[in-house]
């Protein structure tokens, strides 16, 4: 029989991953983090307007909350997604795919990204279709 976990065991468990993603166009590597439940919920709320329709800049919004430094500190505030949107769309798409996969978002997972009512390529201002 497996161990019955205590509250302390659950809270002490390190269950969030951070992975590196090479970005030669930017001259190095970025770290992409897995979102905790509270951050995922905030992200899901941030990508829809009051009527439930998808907002623009889906990729940039996700990257703003997923890109971190070596210590796990976020590189961007949520509202700085606009600055990310000024970067090369192909590069953003590649890093977004890493964040999307790490966080279980997308067609294979039936999550927020898949279940949106609109065309996600239109929801992103990056100019390229979603993976």
Q: Quick one: pLDDT at residue 57? A: 94
Structural domain contains residue 37: yes
Structural domain contains residue 129: no
Structural domain contains residue 130: no
Domain count, the chain: 1
Structural domain contains residue 121: no
Quick one: 68 exposed, middle or buried, by C-beta within 10 A (0-12, 13-18, 19+)?
middle
How far is CA 127 from each of CA 88, 123, 124, 131, rounded to the nearest angstrom?
10, 10, 7, 12
Q: Quick one: pLDDT at residue 106? A: 81
HSE-CB at 11 with a 13 A cutoff on CA atoms is 3
Tell me the CATH number at 98.
3.30.2220.20
Structural domain contains residue 125: no
Strands 28-33 and 67-68: antiparallel
Quick one: tokens of 69?
């430094």
Quick one: tokens of 80?
């700085």
Structural domain contains residue 81: yes
Query: Concatenated DSSP letters for 62-110?
Result: HHHHHEE-TTS-BSS-GGGHHHHTTS-HHHHHHHHHHHHHHTT-STTTT
Structural domain contains residue 6: no
User: Which residues have C-beta within 8 Å of that of residue 14, sequence separation ≥ 6?
Assistant: none
Structural domain contains residue 56: yes
Domain holding 59, by residue range, is 14-115
Q: Quick one: pLDDT at residue 86? A: 97
Each residue's pLDDT, cut to its tens digit, for the chain (131 residues) gives: 899 999 999 999 999 999 999 999 999 999 999 999 999 999 999 999 999 999 999 999 999 999 999 999 999 999 999 999 999 999 999 999 999 999 999 854 334 443 433 333 333 333 333 33
């Amino acid at each position: 029989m497996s161990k019955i976990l205590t509250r302390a065991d659950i809270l002490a468990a390190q269950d969030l991953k951070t992975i590196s993603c090479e970005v030669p166009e930017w001259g190095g590597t970025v770290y992409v983090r897995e979102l905790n439940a509270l951050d995922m919920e905030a992200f899901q709320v941030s990508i829809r307007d009051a009527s439930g329709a998808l907002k623009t800049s889906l990729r940039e919004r996700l990257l703003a909350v997923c890109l971190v430094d070596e210590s796990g500190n976020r590189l961007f505030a949520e509202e700085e997604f606009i600055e990310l949107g000024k970067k090369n769309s192909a590069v953003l798409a590649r890093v977004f795919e890493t964040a999307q996969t790490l966080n279980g978002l997308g067609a294979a997972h039936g999550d927020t990204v898949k279940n949106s009512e609109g065309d996600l390529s239109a929801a992103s201002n990056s100019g390229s279709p979603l993976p």
